[in-house]
Amino acid sequence: MPASESSPRTSPGASPGLTAEGVSKRFGTVQALEDVTISFPPGQVTALMGENGAGKSTLLRVLTGDHRPTEGRVLLDGKPVDLHYPQDARRAGIRIIPQEPEIIPHVSVAENVYAGSLPRAAGRRLDRAELRRRINADLERLGFAKVLDPNLLGSQLTAAQRQLVEILRALTGEVPPRAIAFDEPTSSLSEFEVEALFALIGRLRDEGIAVVYVSHRMKEIFRLADRIAVLRDGRVAGVVEAAATDESALVRLMVGRDLSTLFVRQQVATDRVVLDVKNLTTDDVRDINLQVRAGEVVALAGLIGAGRSEFALALAGDAQVRSGSVELGGKALRLKNPRAAITAGIGLAPEERKAQALFLHRTIRDNTSLVSLGRLRRWRFVKHQQERALAQQFADRLRVRAPSIEAEVRTLSGGNQQKVVLARWLARKPDLLILDEPTRGVDIGAKAEIYQIIADLAREGTAVLIISSELPEVLGLADRIVVMQNGRTTGELTRAEASEEAILALAMADDLAPADAPDDRATAHAPTGDPR
Amino acid sequence: MTTTTAPSAQLPEAEPAAGRRGGVRALLAAVGGQNLSLIGALAVVLVLFGSLNENFLSWDNIQVIAEAATISGLLAVVQTVVIICGGLDISVGSQAGLASVVSAMVFTSTGANPYLGIGAAVAIGAGIGLFNGAIIIYGRVNPTIATLAGLAAYKGVAQLVSGGRAQGYVLNDPVFIFLSRGKIAGLPTMVWLLVLTAVAVHLLLTYTDIGRNIYAIGGNDAAARLAGINLNKYLVSAYALSGMVAALAGILLTARTGSGQPVSGSEGLELQSITAAALGGCALKGGKGTIGGTLLAVALLGALQNGLTVQGINAFWQNVAQGALLVAAVVIQQRRNGERAVGLPA
């Protein structure tokens, strides 16, 4: 078949850049996109916003050939592109940097970057010299030479470095990129690494590439974007110039609601210490001292890889404690496994909700009741009525949007999935609830609801420990902020003392200090060391 | 936003509410699409062979089908549990053979005590199951490999202790006669054993917290661990249960043939049980499957096998048919899950 279909109405406006024209996409009975027409002009950053489920990912997948649209077409510089496979998009110069990087663990960075088009010497042998020359040239050209060692194996990379590999993949290749889509690129990066990414995006724009930028983070959007396209329920809710709008206008476009209610929280902390950690040391964290009181919300801040999630897992009984002690409500705990932690009264909503918390093919009811089954059973039989009542109660309280509590969790949007994880722990009523990135990948409406849930929990006397990489969230929620770096705590800030600058200063304390240690982590953008 | 490969995973919450049009629809939804197609296939098989041979649908022949399907049915039921946990037990056939030999030999050497024979076989089965579980959990061996090794090794042990020959004679004992030919309320004892086992396992999976935890483990083991479930205990128990039921199957084999059989009668049971479980809707990566579906698949396979035999079709073809069914079942399952044909299946 010829590469392009000749259409009777070829390029009405002949607008340059990448354009979705009248794109609709249906999955079964669900209309994911309806008559979406958006153009992404070259040399501009167009942000794509919308609540989860608004159709952003589906649109990206249509643009990159991963989904075929039910109706409509994709144009590049006014000419329709025939997208049957993702490779077609790649060949046309359309690239995507997915939210979760796909990295081959056992081969080097260089081979990961050029996977599929490795340089060949005679007889299909891998041309290692050429590979090295190419990766070094590309790293140099793109300004990553200092942060990414091309000889590292895929499995040794940090989250930020994995993202870099995806970016390198997008920017290299025989056909130069014409349009690049970033799907929430900063969700696994810390503030510091984000800077490097933004610099790169700025350069891409200046080179005349059409940049599509999907994110929930207002601050980033206003820093980067020239234009902002908002999707709502699969339709275009509006396309605005970034300079001509503000946050609350965007939120209204997205949800028809105001942002001002996002952080409503008065301090309700008591004097009763619930969690008392003394000199806790595991394989990943050292000498952690931390107290959380009843009704108090404590946030753990720090860069990615600072050991916050590892500390949370240790408290949840999923890491080996080398030394130190953990007391809960005055009782010393032996955290030998997650069961012991749960029994003692510790709940953890982990970082990766799909991988670590949810059973996607089970119902909301089943996912909610799982850790409460102990008190929902007679003999070993689950009391169905009580289980239903419990699940319904918390689904209502957290406003989980689903046809019923018998809906499978995989059919829910990210925010509602997160609410199901929260419902599981709220139903169990732990004394200490640890929330690791509770709003990652959650749309703004659900975010506000989750903040409200956290505030309610504190008012009921639960001790809450939050890990978040979003500084506004940390500042808005926490009574007290503990900053970690490299597996240690580097400082503590009260609500009054806290500011983004103060947190960042503590989070990067080691790197800012005079070189008192042999410093192989000088490249703070992405800690290249520590390939455990 | 999510980046799952399954297209349905990133849809908004609007799923059509089930059972909007009342009774029939709700009933169909409760039975499930997979089971409906199994019932359809079973109906086709019954009508087809019933019209080809009038004796096929006679009560006598149906009992023959049920009895023949009992042994593979028992194994399919426990295979379902193991598969839901995210494991696989390829060694069930060899375990049954070893149990068959042990039951007959202990029976003979203890002066015709059937209870000692049966008890010894079940104990051996439980021991082997625990051993399988321990190798898989503590030796960190992939379940397929571990039980593939078991398939060879336990068959070897059975041949060693029996010298490769049928052992003992048990059909002079009332207990074994009752197991092989007895009837309760008009149904053969063997079929009752299958029904009881299936009902017990169904209740366990559907109505107890143990069952919930089993589905949780197979569905997402990391999440199950963080939810406080003791994975090792459950997995080892699943293999132990598999071993004990395999032993029960071996004992029934002894009762049916009259003597302990190291290989004949038990060889190939692992394939039948896995085929039935897969055909019945078990996801081979775990977390999904029902006893009802598995039993329907057992009935379908049993009827098909009997029908082919009644029609005088070469037994070799039956092997081909079984292999083809297993692959077809899994292919259909993957299509339904929206798996795309890229690279090696997960």
Q: What is the ipTM, given to two decimal places?
A: 0.77
pLDDT tens figures, A366-376: 999 988 888 88
Same domain, A249 and A320: no
List all residues of chain B from 170 to 209 with a beta carbon under 8 Å from chain A: 203, 207-209
Q: Tell me, yes or no, if A410 comes closer than 8 A to chain B by beta carbon.
A: yes
Q: Answer left, alpha or beta for residue B22, where phi above 0 means left and psi between -120 and 50 means alpha.
A: left
* Residue A316 belongs to domain spanning: 273-512
B181-to-A507, B60, B302 alpha-carbon distances in Å? 77, 13, 19
Question: Which tokens is B242 given?
Answer: 């598999």
Q: Tell me, yes or no, if A427 comes closer than 8 A to chain B by beta carbon.
A: no
Rounded (to 5) percent helix, strand, coil in chain A: 35, 25, 40
One-letter amino acid at A274 equals: V
The burial of A529, by beta-carbon neighbours within 10 Å (0-12 exposed, 13-18 middle, 19 or more buried), is given as: exposed
Kind of pairing between the strands at A377-378 and A381-382: antiparallel
pLDDT of residue B14: 39
Least Cα distance to B248 among B77, B56, B111 occurs for: B77
A45 has pLDDT over 90:
yes
Question: With an 8 Å Cβ cutoff, are A355 and B223 in contact?
Answer: yes
Query: Which chain A residues have a beta carbon less than 8 Å from that of B2?
Result: 52, 57, 354, 414, 441
Same domain, A36 and A173: yes
> Residue A279 belongs to what H/E stretch?
strand A273-281
Mutate which of B4, B13, B333 to test chain A, going by most A C-beta atoms within 10 A?
B13
Do the beta carbons of residue A382 and residue B208 sit within 8 Å? yes
CA nearest to B204 within chain A: A381
Least Cα distance to B210 among B192, B195, B230 occurs for: B230
Question: With an 8 Å Cβ cutoff, are A53 and B12 in contact?
Answer: yes
CB pairs under 8 A between A and B: 145
Q: Which of B15, B16, B223 is opposite residue A358, by nearest beta carbon?
A: B223
Instruction: Give how far A164 is from chain B: nearest CA, Å.
Output: 18
Q: Can you spell out the DSSP letters for A126-182? A: B-HHHHHHHHHHHHHHHT-TTT--TTSBGGG--HHHHHHHHHHHHH-SSSPPSEEEE
Least Cα distance to A177 among A149, A145, A212 occurs for: A212
Q: What are phi and psi of B68, to 5 degrees?
A: -65, -30
Number of Cβ within a 10 Å radius of residue A270: 13
One-letter amino acid at B81 equals: V
Q: Tell me, yes or no, if B343 comes closer than 8 A to chain A by beta carbon.
A: no
Residue B303 belongs to some domain of the structure: yes
Residue with tokens 């999935």: A417
A193 has pLDDT over 80:
no
Q: Tell me, yes or no, if A137 comes closer than 8 A to chain B by beta carbon.
A: no
Residue B9 belongs to some domain of the structure: no
Q: Tell me, yes or no, if B4 comes closer than 8 A to chain A by beta carbon.
A: yes
CA nearest to B6 within chain A: A410
CA nearest to B219 within chain A: A359
Q: Which of A316, A366, A381 is opposite residue B208, by nearest beta carbon?
A: A381
Residue A66 belongs to some domain of the structure: yes
Q: Report chain A's terminal Cα–Cα distance, integer Å.
A: 50
Q: Dihedral (C-alpha) A508, A514, A515, A516: value to the nearest 10 degrees? A: -100
Residue A4 belongs to some domain of the structure: no
Same domain, A240 and A303: no
Q: Tell me, yes or no, if B168 comes closer than 8 A to chain A by beta carbon.
A: no
3-state secondary structure chain B: CCCCCCHHHHCCCCCCCCCCCCHHHHHHHHHCHHHHHHHHHHHHHHHHHHHHCHHHHCHHHHHHHHHHHHHHHHHHHHHHHHHHCCCCCCCHHHHHHHHHHHHHHHHHHCCCCHHHHHHHHHHHHHHHHHHHHHHHHHCCCCHHHHHHHHHHHHHHHHHHHHCCCCECCCCCCHHHHHHHHCEECCEEHHHHHHHHHHHHHHHHHHHEHHHHHHHHHHHCHHHHHHCCCCHHHHHHHHHHHHHHHHHHHHHHHHHHHCCECCCCCCCCHHHHHHHHHHHCCCCCCCCCCCHHHHHHHHHHHHHHHHHHHHCCCCHHHHHHHHHHHHHHHHHHHHHHCCCCCCCCCC
Residue A372 belongs to some domain of the structure: yes
In the predicted model, what is the mean pLDDT of residues A210-232?
87
Q: Which of A214, A357, A401 is opposite residue B13, by nearest beta carbon?
A: A401
Altogether, the residues listed in chain B come to a count of 346
Alpha helices in A336-468 (DSSP H): 338-344, 353-356, 364-369, 384-397, 414-428, 444-459
Mutate which of A213, A371, A386, A411 to test chain B, going by most B C-beta atoms within 10 A?
A411
Q: Tell me, yes or no, if B23 comes closer than 8 A to chain A by beta carbon.
A: no
One-letter amino acid at B275 equals: T
Q: What are phi and psi of A141, to 5 degrees?
A: -60, -35
Residue A344 belongs to some domain of the structure: yes
CA nearest to A380 within chain B: B208
Mutate which of A100, A382, A433 to test chain B, going by most B C-beta atoms within 10 A?
A382
Residue B14 belongs to some domain of the structure: no
Do the beta carbons of residue B321 and residue B301 sit within 8 Å? no
Question: With an 8 Å Cβ cutoff, are A338 and B223 in contact?
Answer: no
Residue A146 belongs to some domain of the structure: no
pLDDT of residue A30: 65
Q: Which of A58, A370, A379 is opposite residue B212, by nearest beta carbon?
A: A370
pLDDT of residue A119: 79
Percent of chain A with pLDDT over 90: 15
Helix (H, G, I), strand (E, B) or coil at A312: helix
Q: Which of B13, B226, B230 is opposite residue A402, by nearest beta carbon?
A: B13
Mutate which of B226, B229, B284 to test chain A, going by most A C-beta atoms within 10 A?
B226
Same domain, A343 and A389: yes
Q: Tell me, yes or no, if A517 comes closer than 8 A to chain B by beta carbon.
A: no
Q: Which of A28, A316, A381 is opposite residue B207, by nearest beta carbon?
A: A381
Least Cα distance to A172 among A137, A132, A120, A147 occurs for: A137
Give CA–CA dist A242/A47, Å, rounded.
9
Q: Which of B1, B6, B17 is opposite residue A99, by nearest beta carbon?
A: B1
In chain B, how many domains are there?
1
Query: Which chain A residues have a beta carbon less than 8 Å from that of B219?
Result: 359-362
Q: Which of B7, B17, B209 is opposite residue A404, by nearest beta carbon?
A: B17
Q: Which of these ranges, A143-152, A401-410, B187-196, B278-287, has the smallest mean pLDDT? A: A143-152
Residue A177 maps to which CATH number? 3.40.50.300
Q: Indicate the angle between helix axes B92-109 and B269-279, nearest 10 degrees.
A: 130
pLDDT of residue B345: 66
Give CA–CA dist A222/A121, Å, rounded.
47
Question: With an 8 Å Cβ cutoff, are B10 and A58 in contact?
Answer: yes
DSSP 8-state symbol, A362: S
Give CA–CA dist B276/B289, Å, rounded.
11
CA nearest to B283 within chain A: A361
A100 has pLDDT over 60:
yes
> Residue A273 belongs to what H/E stretch?
strand A273-281
Query: Which chain B residues have a beta carbon less than 8 Å from that of A314?
Result: none
Do the beta carbons of residue B142 and residue B285 sit within 8 Å? no
Do the beta carbons of residue A209 and residue A180 sit within 8 Å? yes
Distance of CA B153 to the CA centre of its chain: 21
Least Cα distance to B125 among B74, B167, B160 occurs for: B74
Instruction: Name residue A347's beta-bridge partners.
Output: A433
Q: Tell me, yes or no, if A346 comes closer than 8 A to chain B by beta carbon.
A: no
Q: Which of these ranges, A26-30, A334-338, A393-397, B143-147, has the smallest mean pLDDT? A: A26-30
pLDDT tens figures, A235-268: 888 898 988 888 778 877 776 554 445 565 667 7
Least Cα distance to B263 among B91, B97, B125 occurs for: B97
One-letter amino acid at B283 equals: A
Question: With an 8 Å Cβ cutoff, are A401 and B287 in contact?
Answer: no
Number of Cβ within a 10 Å radius of residue A161: 23
Q: What are phi and psi of B111, to 5 degrees?
A: 65, 50
- A511 compared with A134, residue with greater pLDDT: A134
Least Cα distance to B167 among B252, B246, B102 occurs for: B102
In the predicted model, what is the mean pLDDT of residues A163-187?
84
Residue environment code for B118-149, b if the CB has 16+ CB neighbours within 10 A, otherwise e: bebbbbbbbebbbbbbbbbbeeebebeebbbe
- A440 compared with A267, residue with greater pLDDT: A440
Residue environment code for A162-201, b if the CB has 16+ CB neighbours within 10 A, otherwise e: bbbbbbbbbbbbeeebbbbbbbbbbbbbbbbbbebbbebb
Instruction: Give how far A14 is from chain B: nearest CA, Å.
Output: 31
Least Cα distance to B117 among B131, B99, B97, B92 occurs for: B99
Question: With an 8 Å Cβ cutoff, are A355 and B222 in contact?
Answer: yes
Strand residue runs (E) in A41-89 = 45-49, 71-76, 79-80
Residue B305 belongs to some domain of the structure: yes
**pLDDT band at A125; cut points 50, 70, 90:** confident
CA nearest to A373 within chain B: B209
Q: Which portions of chain B are predicted below pLDDT 70?
A: 1-22, 30, 338-346
Instruction: Give how far A417 is from chain B: nearest CA, Å.
Output: 10
Question: With an 8 Å Cβ cutoff, are B208 and A380 in contact?
Answer: yes
Same domain, A353 and A251: no
Same domain, A227 and A331: no
- A340 compared with B27, residue with greater pLDDT: A340
Do the beta carbons of residue B130 and residue B70 sit within 8 Å? no
Average pLDDT, whole number, for chain A?
81
Question: With an 8 Å Cβ cutoff, are A412 and B13 in contact?
Answer: yes
Residue A135 belongs to some domain of the structure: no
pLDDT of residue B1: 39
Q: Which of B208, B225, B230 is opposite residue A382, by nearest beta carbon?
A: B208
pLDDT of residue A11: 40
Q: What are phi and psi of A237, to 5 degrees?
A: -85, -20
Question: Which tokens is A97 given?
Answer: 């940097």
Give CA–CA dist A91/A106, Å, rounded.
27
Residue B81 belongs to some domain of the structure: yes
Range among A8-12, A53-57, A189-193 rated most confident: A53-57
Same domain, A326 and A229: no
Question: Which tokens is A38 given?
Answer: 């958006």
Residue B33 belongs to some domain of the structure: no
Residue A117 belongs to some domain of the structure: no
**pLDDT band at A166; cut points 50, 70, 90:** confident
Question: With an 8 Å Cβ cutoff, are A380 and B209 in contact?
Answer: yes
In chain A, how many domains are there?
2
Same domain, A249 and A286: no
List all residues of chain A from 303 to 342 with a beta carbon under 8 Å from chain B: 316, 318, 337-339, 341-342
Question: Which tokens is B249 given?
Answer: 């199957």
pLDDT of residue A527: 40
Same domain, A24 and A73: yes
Q: Indicate the angle between helix axes B209-219 and B59-84, nearest 10 degrees.
A: 70
CA nearest to A66 within chain B: B5
Residue B129 belongs to some domain of the structure: yes
Question: Which tokens is B277 given?
Answer: 């479980």
The burial of A308, by beta-carbon neighbours within 10 Å (0-12 exposed, 13-18 middle, 19 or more buried), is given as: buried
Q: Tell me, yes or no, if B282 comes closer than 8 A to chain A by beta carbon.
A: no
In the predicted model, what is the mean pLDDT of residues A217-230?
87
Mutate which of A342, A361, A417 to test chain B, going by most B C-beta atoms within 10 A?
A361
Residue A61 belongs to some domain of the structure: yes
Count CA within 13 A, CB hemisphere, residue A308.
28
Residue B150 belongs to some domain of the structure: yes
Count CA within 13 A, CB hemisphere, residue A264.
11
Do the beta carbons of residue B217 and residue B228 sit within 8 Å? no
Same domain, A247 and A352: no
Do the beta carbons of residue B110 and residue B221 sit within 8 Å? no
Question: With an 8 Å Cβ cutoff, are B226 and A404 in contact?
Answer: no
